[in-house]
Amino acid sequence: MSDSVKKYHENIVENNKIINNANISKRSFVWVLDHNSGTVHLYNIRQDADGEACETLIELMGHKVEECQWMLTERDKIYD
């Protein structure tokens, strides 16, 4: 099989993965770096959560927002 044909088939497979994954509802995650306790926490939340919802979650989980840094992301792993 020539390189161009092989590349064409690889692109089709990759595009199908993207299309199939788009149909799966994704989750969002909040990474919290708690300076007070010196720990890092990961919380699974709704996809449509905003900053206010994240800060409410952080407080409900027992953290003080003013003593934390947090990040909203779609990744639940540090390394891929």
What digits encode the pLDDT tens for the residues 6-45?
666 566 656 555 444 444 457 889 999 999 999 999 999 8
Cα dihedral 65, 71, 77, 79 sign: negative
What digits encode the pLDDT tens for the residues 54-67?
999 999 999 999 99
- Give the domain extent around 51: 3-73
Residue at 78 is within a domain: no
> pTM of the full predicted structure?
0.63
The domain total for the chain is: 1
Residue at 79 is within a domain: no
Residue at 20 is within a domain: yes
